[in-house]
Structure 1
Amino acid sequence: MKRSMRPLGVQVGLFTLIRILINTSYRMVYPFFSFFQGGLGVSLPAFSLVLTLRSFSGVVGPLLAPLTDRYGRRPAMLAGLGMFVLGSGLVALLPNYGSFMIGLFLMASAYQVFLPAMQAFLGDRVAYAERGRVMGLTELGWSLSFILGIPAVGWLVERVRIWWAPFVVFALVGVVLLGVLWWLVPRDPQGERHSAATSRLQVRALLHSPHVLIGLAMGLALTSANEMVNLVFGLWLESQFALQLAALGAASVVIGASELLGEGISALWVDRLGKERAVAVGIVLNSLSAVGLFLLGRTITGALVGLFLFYLTFEFALVSFLPLMSGTFPALRATVMAGTIAAFSLGRAVGAVLGPLTYSLGFGVNLGVAILFNTLALVALRRVQVAELVPEVPGVGGED
C-alpha cells in the first residue's frame, strides 16, 4: 500500500502515541524533581536553571513554523521527532548536567516543531466541519501522558534506580516511531509548498490580520486564567486542610481524569456544537466552576470536586479552541498554530507572575482574576473569524 493511501485514522493514532511520548518526557520532571536532582548531584538553583532554559523552547515554534509552511508538514514532523531522539539520546549516552540541560531543551523544542506541523497536516486534510473531532483525539496525548506515561516512568525508576534510564527508553521508542512516521505520512504535495517570495507576503498579511492577532490574545487570556489557579492550588490545599501529601496526591488523580474527560468531550461535541459556540460554552462553564470552587472549597471533597470541574471545563475550552484557530489563516496554518502554542506559553508566564501576588490577598482573589481573564477571552472570541480560503494578498492567490 502506498504511503499516500494510509488511512487517516492510523496516522492520528500514531500522532497521539508520539504526543504521549513527548509529553511524558516534559511532565515527568515535576513529580520526579528530587530524583533527577539527586542523580545529577546538583543544587536546587542549578537544577531550576535547567527548567528555566527549557521554558525558552517556546520561541522555537514561531521562529521555525514559517519554514514548515514553506517546505511542508512531513519534513517538519520528522525534524521535530528527530530532535526529540537527539535530545534523549544525548542524555542517555552522556549522563551529566550539561547534556541534561541541552537534552531537555532539544526535547521541549521538538514539541514546538512537531505539534504545529501535525496540526497543520490535519488541517490540510480534514474538512473544517470535522476537524475538531480529529484534533481532539490527538489532544488525548496530553492527559494520557499523565495517566499512563508518568506511572510507567515511576515503575522504571523504582526498579533500576538510574536517573537517566527513562532517556534510554525515550530514545529507543523515538527511533521506532520516527521510522513509522516516515512510512505512514505521505510526502507533501508540491502545491502545498510556498516560494520564498510568497511566504514573505503571507507572513506580512498574517501580521496585519486582526482576527488572527485577536485569537492569539484570546489564547493568552485563556491560559492566564487557568494558571492563576494552577500555580497556587497546591498551596491553597495545604493551608486549607493541612494535608499536603494526601490532598495533592488526590488532586493529581482528579486533574488527570478531568483533562482526559475534557479532551474526550471536546472531540465528541466540538464539531456538533460549532467551534466558536463550544469555546464560549467552555469559558462560561469554567468561570462558573471558579465560583463553585470558591463555594465548595470549605471541605476537601468539595475542593476536589471544584478542581475537577475547573480543569475539565478549561480543557474542553482549550481543545475546542485549537480547530477554531486552525481555520483563521490556512495559507500559514502551521505558523498560526505555532503562534497559538506560544500564546499559551506566554499566558502561563503571565499567570505565573500574577498568581503568587494575588494569592497573598487570598485564593478567592486568584479565582476572581481568573474569571476576569476568561471574560476578556470571551469578548475576544467575538472577533475571531474563520477564513478557510487564503486571504487576498497582493501577488498571492488560490486556495489552501
Structure 2
Amino acid sequence: MEKNKKRVFTGTVAMLVILFGLLRIAIFTGYHMVTPFLPEIARNLDTTIVVIGLAISIRSAMGFLGPVWGGIIDLFGKKNSLLIALLTFAASYAAIYFFPSFPCFVVALPISYAATLTFDSAMYSYLSEMIPYEGRGRMTAVLEAAYALGFMIGSPVAGVLMENFGWAVPFVLMAGIAVVFAIALGFILPKEGEKRFGIDATVSHEMQENKAEKGSYFHRLSLVLKDKNALAALLTGSLLMGGNWFCQTMYGGWLEDNFDQGLSEIGFISAAFGLAVFVGSLLCLTLTDKLGKTKAMKLGAIVTICGGVIAAFTNQKSLIIGSIGLFLYFAFVEFATEACISLCTDVRAEIRGTVIGSSFGALAIGSTIGTGVSPVLYTKFGYTPCIIVGTVIVAIALLVIAKVLTPGFANKEKN
C-alpha cells in the first residue's frame, strides 16, 4: 500500500494541493475578515462587540460537529462533500450581503463555518490518501499557508472594500469565488476509484475497500476516544487554538481603542499579523517533517509563550513592541497547531476521516471558548488579560505535549 501511495505522490498531486490552497485563501479571507473589523460590523448591525463576539463563538461551536462530518465523509465520499460544502459556504455569505441584518448574520456565519470545516475535513482526507505520511507536514504547510494568506492579503483588501463600498461587500465577493471554484473542482477532481487529468484516486478507493474500519460512525468514534495518543493530540489542538483566539479576537479593538487606528490601518496591521501566520506555515513546511511532529509542537508552544509574555507587558505602552510580541505569538502558535493537524492525519489511518473530523471539532472547542470569552474579558478589563489567559492556555498545551503524547507513536514519527 505504501509503495502505491508513493507512486501517486506526483507533480500533478502537488498542483492539486496548490489549487486547494488558492481556494482556501478565498475561504479564509472571509473567515478572518470578521474579527479585525468586529467593532465596524457591530456598529452597522446596531449591536455591541460582546454580542458579535457571541455570534463568532456560535460560529466556532459548529466545529463541535466535526467528528460527525468526518464520519459522513468516510461513508459517502470526499468529492461530493467538497462540492456541497463550497456551495453552502457561498449561499451563506451571499445571504449576509443581500439580507444585511443581525438575525441573518448570526445564522449565516455559523453555517459558513460548518461548510468550511466540512470542506477542510474532506480535503485533508482526500489528499492524505494520495500523499505518504512523511510528506504530509509539507502538504499541511502549503494548505495552512493559504489560511495565513487569507489573513495577510484578505484583511487589508476587506478593510479597503468596507471603507469604500460598505461592510458587506467582501462577503458577496467571497461567495462568488467559492461558486467558481466549485464548478472547477467538479470538473477536475476524480471520485475515489477513478483517474482524471493525471490525478489518480484509485489508491484512495483501495484504502477504503481494504483498510478502512468497518462499522457505524459511533464505533469509529469510540476507537478515537479509546486511543490515549489520539485524545492527547485532540486536546493539544484544542488548547493551542483556544490560546490563539484569546489573543486574536480583540486585537482590532485594541488597535482602535488604544492607538486610534482606522479601518484601513487595522486592515494593514492585520496583514502583518497574517504574515506571522504565514511564517508559521513556512516553519511547518521546513521543520515539521525534519524534527518530527511532537518536537515541532513543543518548539512552537515554547516560542508562543515567550511572545505572549512580551505582548502582555508592552501592549498598553507601545504599538510596535506589543505588535512584535503578538507577531511571535501568532507565528509560533500557528506552527504548533499545523504540526498537530499533520500528526492527526496518521493517528489511526483506518479511520482517518473520523480522526481528522474529530481534530477540527477539537480545534472548534478551543476557538469557541476563546472567541466567546475574550470580548467579555476585553470589555471589562482590557486586552492584557486576554493575552495572559491565552499564554497560560498554550503553557498547558505544552505540558500535554511533553507529558502525555508518546513520542514516535504515529507511523514513521521521529522520537
TM-score, normalised relative to structure 2: 0.78
Counterpart residue type for residue 156 of structure 2: P
Partner residue in 1 for 2:6: none
Partner residue in 1 for 2:4: none
After superposition, what is the alpha-carbon deviation per residue over 1:216-252, rounded to whole angstroms, capped at 9, x for unaligned? 112122233334544566777789xx53538967753
Paired residue for 2:272, among 231, 251, 254? 254
Identical columns (%): 24
- Change in 2 beyond 3 A, CA 1:305/1:260: same
Q: Distance in 2 between matches of 1:78 and 1:160?
A: 30
- Change in 2 beyond 3 A, CA 1:231/1:359: farther
- Change in 2 beyond 3 A, CA 1:21/1:145: same
Contact 1:77 1:114 in 2 (8 A): yes
Whether 2:276 is the aligned partner of 1:269: answer no
Shift of 1:199: 4.9
Deviates more, 1:87-96 or 1:76-85: 87-96
Counterpart residue type for residue 188 of structure 2: L
Whether 2:381 is the aligned partner of 1:377: answer no
Partner residue in 1 for 2:125: 120
Partner residue in 2 for 1:305: 324
Q: Secondary structure at the match of 2:153?
A: helix
Q: Secondary structure at the match of 2:191?
A: coil
Q: Distance in 2 between matches of 1:293 and 1:147?
A: 20
Deviates more, 1:115-124 or 1:362-371: 362-371
Match runs of 1:343-382 below 5 Å: 343-351=362-370, 356=377, 363=385, 366=389, 369-370=392-393, 372-380=395-403, 382=405
Contact 2:73 2:353 in 1 (8 A): yes
- Change in 2 beyond 3 A, CA 1:43/1:174: same
**Runs (5+) with no aligned partner, structure 1:** 390-400
Match runs of 1:1-400 below 5 Å: 7-33=12-38, 35-37=40-42, 39-40=44-45, 42-44=46-48, 50-161=55-166, 163-189=167-193, 190-191=205-206, 192=208, 197=215, 199-230=217-248, 242-245=258-261, 252-293=270-311, 299-351=318-370, 356=377, 363=385, 366=389, 369-370=392-393, 372-380=395-403, 382-383=405-406, 386-388=409-411
Deviates more, 1:326-335 or 1:294-303: 294-303
Q: Distance in 2 between matches of 1:13 and 1:99?
A: 33
Contact 1:227 1:348 in 2 (8 A): yes
Q: Distance in 2 between matches of 1:352 and 1:158?
A: 24
- Change in 2 beyond 3 A, CA 1:329/1:295: same
**Runs (5+) with no aligned partner, structure 2:** 1-8, 194-204
Q: Secondary structure at the match of 2:406?
A: coil
Contact 2:58 2:368 in 1 (8 A): no
Q: Secondary structure at the match of 1:197?
A: coil
Counterpart residue type for residue 186 of structure 1: P
Shift of 1:76: 1.5
Q: Distance in 1 between matches of 2:71 and 2:146?
A: 25
Shift of 1:75: 1.7
After superposition, what is the alpha-carbon deviation per residue over 1:140-188, rounded to whole angstroms, capped at 9, x for unaligned? 1221112222333334344433x54334322322111001111222211
- Change in 2 beyond 3 A, CA 1:226/1:56: closer
Shift of 1:138: 0.6
Q: Distance in 2 between matches of 1:292 and 1:179?
A: 46
After superposition, what is the alpha-carbon deviation per residue over 1:62-81, rounded to whole angstroms, capped at 9, x for unaligned? 22210111222212211211
Contact 1:359 1:366 in 2 (8 A): no
Q: Secondary structure at the match of 2:347?
A: coil
Q: Distance in 2 between matches of 1:33 and 1:107?
A: 17
Q: Distance in 2 between matches of 1:30 and 1:365?
A: 19
Q: Secondary structure at the match of 2:215?
A: helix
After superposition, what is the alpha-carbon deviation per residue over 1:104-133, rounded to whole angstroms, capped at 9, x for unaligned? 222111111011111112211111111111
Deviates more, 1:193-202 or 1:75-84: 193-202
Q: Secondary structure at the match of 2:129?
A: helix
Counterpart residue type for residue 354 of structure 2: T
Query: Number of aligned pairs?
Result: 382
Q: Distance in 2 between matches of 1:220 and 1:276?
A: 15
Contact 1:70 1:195 in 2 (8 A): no
Contact 1:327 1:386 in 2 (8 A): no
- Change in 2 beyond 3 A, CA 1:121/1:383: same
Contact 1:70 1:196 in 2 (8 A): no
Counterpart residue type for residue 157 of structure 2: A
Q: Distance in 2 between matches of 1:49 and 1:302?
A: 30
Q: Distance in 2 between matches of 1:118 and 1:344?
A: 17
Contact 1:276 1:381 in 2 (8 A): no
